[in-house]
Structure 1
């Protein structure tokens, strides 16, 4: 399997999406105290820094600005691990194709790198089937998970939750994850519905019993359940490739940005609140992003991000020599990619 690294299409409306996010988050603070309390209380968090301590890649050294600004908006480089959690438990998740078992898996993993100044960004997808050296991770209940060599990437989250997912990514990449954001299985569908659906063009027919999705090649306006099916589709694609699924996921991300940019959220308070409620209710973050104020600050810092400076890539991989159904990082290409994000 050839490793693939290359820019995807440039998502339009990224700046508008950032502004809409700010508006959604500010709704609670500006409209009514109860709304702020409700939205703020929606967000769940995990203390990643406290759990991992200093046994992590170093933070990059910040370069002082030659002309300090009075604006409190942060502008430094930032790396955010974004996971899509395929929850297996709960009636609602099971109805959406989550299955009948307990626990959850990180079936979608993206490292979002914001360059200094927050005017360019790179989104790197990590295939879930990548075999990695999974480190020992601390558990909330005490003790730790066992380290393992040649473990599938998404087992880190299944065994040790967000803390182990972050530590495994940092071990794989050598890059410090400044923040962690997780969106859950059913929450994603609710967010898409709150936005009024999303329009996506597929190049191939999709027929996947596991994700409950059947689409002819072409352009479709999807509701939340269908969009979630598209994000999860794998076995309905030629060869059942995780890399093919990543291509669909990246296309869906761009389509969602288009939808946000064309939806007049800032002048529609009802829709704005629905989107803010769905977004905040589906999130788990690290403790550095677990309030509306912190998320608003992040959103404001993206106000200067140009769509032409955002690219999507996939970590370069090749088939594992001992297992054709798994992949390993392709070197030195993968190392070069992560080095560029430090």
Structure 2
């Protein structure tokens, strides 16, 4: 029985740099199969009407109702002819903050739906390039701010799984599309879901684990510089380890962060603070207020208190036992009177 399952082999090369044109690797071979020279390697990158160019991504700024025309170059870098599907799809952030596109067959409702390639497929001979024109039509009611999508070249191959079933595996690569629709821009980041816990040692300092979500609540792309610190009731502060920048988040995107602040005294309670300075997209000067949030952690050294309580209880028991021995009356010895018998 053929299994027409599209495996989630989304081998994207949607990095916002020259790495965005990295070709898809060859499909995996089933164990024991003879691959021969069937390698399939292809890529997609921005282009002019005649050749690939050096743009890292397809970026535009336009008004609602505008029409943008541009090109991508689809390359077959392998040694065999290949036919690739060409389509556009909406972009989104993964929970780790990465850039991804909707799965094949899932309908787009944003910039992916506004983008239409003039070819739905291309057939490429080995070591060849095809220029594909496309049109981005911005609706008159498009919301202001940033919209993201990608133009995809995809190859579906049939492979045999370890259980002998036939599986359709889709490889896809593409070029990112970034569109800024002019209008009222409201950039902003927020910190939500902030939680923390303190792990004490019996005698000494402990560690605080802090988790939170950085959420892009505005309508422009933003990254950010983040830091976490923990303060004691008497005002001393311990900074957490250096954190990597918040990855570039699309509007509505989010990333989950967990970090540890070490070497904290069990002060009864501690205040953990998260601070994120938003960073606008390169080339834009959006003014964005920092995002801050804090949470109070219980930092009671229960293990040390338990040992101390046990020690105090032992001392009390010993003293109580001694006190009872001192107050217990001693019975008087019986007097024995000897009477001499009169002879």
Query: What TM-score, normalized to structure 2?
Result: 0.20
Whichever of the two has the greater Rg, that structure is: 2
Bigger proportion of residues as strand: 2
Q: Which has the higher helix share?
A: 1
